[in-house]
Amino acid sequence: MTEQEVVALINSSLAEEFELELEDMDADADIFDDFGLDSLDIVDMVIVLESAFKFKIREEQAIRKIRKLGEIHTFVLGKLNETEQAS
């Protein structure tokens, strides 16, 4: 999966789960202030990402610090790279 495809899959998965518009999925968007997500939604965001990319991230401390959509992109790309190198 290319970086572009990964970003597209993250955006489409989150847009579907949280009823967001794809055109609003800007990397600079604040997922709390701009998308209106809260702590319950972050739990579900993890489940959505785990399902889309078939990895386990619920224990990752880095997720707790994420605020921007772009940080989710970076986190997922890093996690996929990590998994690829390990295998």
Partner 1 sequence: MQMRRVVVTGIGAVSPFGCGFERLTEGLLTGRSAVTYCSALESVGGLRSQIAALVPTLDAKAIPRKFRRSMSAMSIYATLAGQEALTHARLDAAACQDGRTGVVIGSTVGSTLTTEEFFIDYLADHSLERMKSTLFFHIMNHSCASNVAQALDIRGRLLAPSAACSTGCQAIGYGFEMIAFGKQDRMLCGGADEFHPLTVATFDVMHAASINFNATPTRTPRPFDRDRDGVVCAAGSGILLLEELELAKARGANILAEIVGFATLTDSSNIANPNPAAMTECMRLALADAGLEAAAVDYVNAHATATEQGDIAEAQAIHELFGARVPVSSFKGHMGHAMAASGSLELAGAVGAMQRGLIAPTLNLEHIDPACAQLDHVRQPRETQVNLMVKNNFALGGVNSSIVLRRYPA
Q: List contacts with partner 1 (CB under 8 A).
A: 18-19, 36, 38, 40-41, 43-44, 47, 50-51, 56, 58
Nearer to partner 1, 26 or 50 (CB): 50
CA proximity to 76, closest of 41, 43, 52, 42: 52
Nearer to partner 1, 9 or 57 (CB): 57
CA proximity to 22, closest of 33, 32, 35, 40: 35
Q: How far is the CB of 77 from partner 1 (least distance, A)?
A: 22
Nearer to partner 1, 6 or 18 (CB): 18
Alpha-carbon dihedral angle through residues 57, 19, 12, 86, given to the nearest 10 degrees: 0
Q: How far is the CB of 68 from partner 1 (least distance, A)?
A: 20
CA atoms within 13 A on the CB side of 63: 17
